[in-house]
Amino acid sequence: MQSIPNRPAAQSAYRALFILTALPVLVLVLTANALAENLTIDRIYSDPSLNGPNLRKPTFAPDGSRITFLKEKESDFTVLDLWSLDLATGKIGMFVDSQKISGGTENLSDEEKARRERMRLFQSGIVDYSWSEDAKLLLFPLGGDLYVYEIATGKTQQLTKTDAFETDARFSPKGRYVSFIRKQNLYVIDIKTREETAITSEGKGTIKFGMAEFVAQEEMGRYTGYWWAPDDSALAFARVDESPVNVSQRSEIYADQFKVIDQRYPYTGTPNARVDLYVRDVAGGTARKIDLGEDSDVYLARVNWMTDSQKLLVQRQSRDQRTLDLLVAERATGVSKVLVQETSKHWINLHDEIYFFKNKPWFIWASERDGFQHLYLYHINGELVAQLTSGEWMVNHLLSVNEAAGHIYFEGNRETPLERHAYRLKISPTGKPTKTQKITTAEGFHNVTVSGNGTYFIDSFSSPTQPVEVKVYRTKDLKEVAVLQANPLDENHPYHPYWADHSQPEFGKLKAEDGQDLYYSLHKPVPFDPAKKYPVLVDCYGGPGAQKVTKAWGSRYYLWLQYMAQRGYVVFTLDNRGSTNRGTAFEFPIHRRLGDVEVRDQQVGVAFLRSLPYVNGDKIGIFGWSYGGYMTLMTMMRAPDDFAAGVSVAPVTDWGLYDTHYTERYLDHPQDNGEGYTQSNVFAHIDGLRGPLFIIHGMADDNVLFTNATKLYKELQDRDIAFDMMNYPGKKHRIWGIQTRKHLFKATTAFFDKHLK
């Protein structure tokens, strides 16, 4: 693969040439360097963001008249407000200033804190919103209560005002009601009468209604537990009974106090929560139980209503995750039957790519049955009509369907795994695919939202040379019609003072032992001298469900990698087998044994680095967070000749301490793969550790429990193995906080400087 030229390196070569030939040019170069600023960790985590403006959740109004979005305050990037673009006039303005309503304070319930932690949501203010179907109202939660913004008057009204905390609020599909969760029960409010009705009332203790259980939120990508019928007449909802889950005690250590939490944590191999599905008419009556089968030890993966509001399509995943059944269930009786079944010898990846046609008896469904996720068209009786997409590439998301035009919009990586684009697929009246057109053009990473009528689409785009910009296009001719977020790297951009020293990534690919391609990115130091020998920072995640090597602009963490390049490090990232967006043959080699092929693939990267004349092969360090932290430990222990130093943040050390759905997906049940668990844990490999190791963990982590760290600390101490540690009081898995992040990355930088430079 052709590499992208390294701009700073090229600039250095040209400067050297001109310095030898022209004194006036030398003066200009020195002046330019004097004007450049040095990137610092303090600046990376200060406002305004060096990534430029950032908007979230751009959404078309149901009538297509405007686009709404959440935008960070310029004075505080952790606070979000509600903004709007009028498509007719092009006018952009703030709808709701969150701090004017909340007074700048927000006290979250413990349940909401946990839910946001699962969603990796660290902002405050208006963090979510939804439209009414008539496009007259916007609903949003703030400070534990619900508010409605009226488009016509520009006024905000408070919908609830209680001491309790309302969460997971939304309009019903027809806009007659607002639904929400309060104190583990499901409620609705009639918009016209403001009358409140409790759909359930028995939720308390271990019983929760309309809520997603821990593993659904953390591992299954399902953050809700209730679903509206399309005609507003009924609600399907989960009844979660956590009593089967063993109570375990975990500590949360804060700066000034110590808490012992009794948490029902479903450790791998132990019972899960019991989840049942019910339907109740909004008008009243008895809730009807949906038949999910005789085996109760299953996962309720997804729920969708069919367009007639009389049937539900329920995704039931087996405990071993090798079978996924699409059940069609009758609302009136609860009787269900299997419509489509997906099976795998390894595991089934869950997704949300499903669409029910309104004017034909069809639905679209995604499957990895041919090795890559593609779209399939089914009759509602379960018969396959057509495979809509195919090839050795992935459909990432089903975006929209324009039934009248026969257009299906989706995102995928047909051209290269390093990019993501949006496509328009044309189907015939009989459902056969006829033509696929790429509708995004710029090389890089696109996240697209298509309007309900298919007239416009929003394109959130970034590349290694372009921070995220957001534009609106017409689908008919792909013409730009509006700019939601311009983000040019000009003299007004906050990153402009640092751009001259920005290290452009070089992309390439290596071969795994089974012949599959391993994509990598490489950033050279700035300034770069090809005659020098540089240390290397390997930036690693390495686990399933993530992809690090893409042609996209990064986050503030990515800017820390730039900072390290400017400190004289080669920064290298490689997506090993087991990571996502490459198909099942690339993912499945990790099955039943973690930390094995992933380490070997990272060693392929090390061998490549050592072949480069400017790399000091004895000074290669590795950094990783979460699964990347686990990979740091496994590489340091299993490949000590390849990695000279490592920083491991929030790592799993013993897979017996992690949850059911994630761990059993890859390692199977502990009773069926005892040796696989033993060899996947870091403790089987500690004797291999030789280089300096730095372990970092949040002391209130309720995902990768702090016990993972303390158990490793004890084992290393008992073996008289020296190591460094940094524990953050009160911090969860993200170890979030501006000052905390500054401290963490300064400590990490100092560690690598000490041992690699």
pLDDT digits (tens, 9 = 90+) for 158-175: 999 988 889 999 999 999
Q: What is the structure's pLDDT at 260?
A: 84
Share of the chain above pLDDT 90, in %: 82
Residue-level pLDDT at 105: 56
Q: In the structure, what pLDDT confidence band is assigned to residue 101 with cuts at 50, 70 and 90? A: confident
Which of 301, 333, 323, 330 lies closest to 314 in space, CA to CA?
301
pLDDT exceeds 90 at position 521: yes
Mean pLDDT, residues 440-445 taken together? 97
Query: What's the pLDDT at 107?
Result: 61
Residue 208 or residue 72, greater confidence? 208
Q: Which of 113-122, 128-137, 712-721 has the lowest mean pLDDT?
A: 113-122
pLDDT band at 121 (very low <50, low <70, confident <90, very high): low
Q: Check residue 123 and give its pLDDT.
A: 63
Mean pLDDT of 398-421: 97
**What is the C-alpha to C-alpha distance for residues 205 and 202, in angstroms, rounded to an integer?**
10
Report whether pLDDT(588) > 70. Answer: yes
The pLDDT value given to residue 3: 32
Minimum mean pLDDT range among 89-98, 211-220, 414-423, 703-712:
89-98
pLDDT of residue 99: 81
**Annotated active-site positions, please?**
626, 701, 733
3-state secondary structure of 584: helix
Give dist(CA 676, CA 223) in Å, integer.
Answer: 31
Residue 3 DSSP label: P
Angle at 686 between CA 680 and CA 689, to 5 degrees: 120
- Of 441, 442, 471, nearest to 457 by C-alpha is 471
- The whole-number pLDDT of residue 112 equals 63
pLDDT of residue 12: 35
Residue with tokens 């540690």: 725
pLDDT computed for residue 125 by the predictor: 80
Q: Is the pLDDT of residue 91 over 70?
A: yes
- Note the pLDDT tens digit of each residue in 211-230: 999 999 999 999 999 999 99
Amino acid 109: pLDDT: 61
The reported pLDDT for the residue numbered 22 is 38
Confidence at residue 17, expressed as pLDDT on a 0 to 100 scale = 29
Describe the crossing of helices 597-611 and 627-638 by its angle, rounded to 10 degrees: 70
DSSP state of 273: P
What pLDDT was estimated at residue 122? 58
Q: Are strands 534-540 and 570-574 parallel, antiparallel or unpaired?
A: parallel
Supply the mean pLDDT for the chain: 91
Q: What domains sit in the chain, N to C, each tagged with a CATH number?
A: 357-483 (2.120.10.30), 503-756 (3.40.50.1820)
